[in-house]
Chain A
Amino acid sequence: QKEVEQNSGPLSVPEGAIASLNCTYSDRGSQSFFWYRQYSGKSPELIMFIYSNGDKEDGRFTAQLNKASQYVSLLIRDSQPSDSATYLCAVNIDGGNTGFQKLVFGTGTRLLVSP
């Protein structure tokens, strides 16, 4: 089982719709979860992070975390063509004997928002 799994997409939504991006992870001990956006040919940029179960909202973006189900999602309301990008889920995974946690990324979900 991969440490962080995402559907590669593309996920196609019309402008103005809600885009729902999902991510599952394998390490039950993970405490920190991140969503990054990566435009084609660009580097990843942080959208938001979440530590606690439940929802966290920031503008049009809502991150949802369910640790019992090992599931984190990102909702984008009122999707715009400029939201078209690859969305990377990243999770802190226990590094074992090293004593530190490492940030593990999923392969990303490509989102296409059509005008």
Chain B
Amino acid sequence: ETGVTQTPRHLVMGMTNKKSLKCEQHLGHNAMYWYKQSAKKPLELMFVYSLEERVENNSVPSRFSPECPNSSHLFLHLHTLQPEDSALYLCASSQEFMTGSGANVLTFGAGSRLTVL
């Protein structure tokens, strides 16, 4: 497989469920990201990992818990979510983590469409 793959593509869960989203990148990149995309809103950065170390937690509620066991895999653990958490969750990776010395291009996965009932 190539690029960034996300599973599952679609997930429906109740507010009391626990589920996880998985992301895997096959690009040899060192940084991975979780973004949330809701209707009529811009992409919101949730978490950033660089070389498996979390470098950004963008004021995300604790009901979202990321995990990065290695530079190729990223998880988003979900528990006691709210209906307003229904959205498209996008994983992305970049060659290096963005620093003040420049920027890096993001490659996105296809996304996981989450519906919370």
Contact = CB atoms under 8 A, between A and B. Distances in A.
Same assembly? yes
B12 interface: no
A99 B41 contact: no
Given A43-B110, A102-B56, A107-B41, A49 B105 contact: yes
A100 B111 CA distance: 25
B42 A45 contact: no
Contacts, number: 64
Interface string B72-106: 00000000000000000010000001111011011
A103 interface: yes
A105 interface: yes
B42 A49 contact: no
A63 interface: no
B117 interface: no
B108 A45 contact: yes
B109 A32 contact: no
A32 B103 contact: yes
B55 interface: yes
Nearest to B58: A102
Contacts of A103: 45, 98, 103, 106
A101 to B, nearest CB: 5
B103 A49 contact: yes
A31 B102 contact: yes
B105 A46 contact: yes
Interface of B: 40-43, 45, 48, 55-56, 90, 97-100, 102-103, 105-111
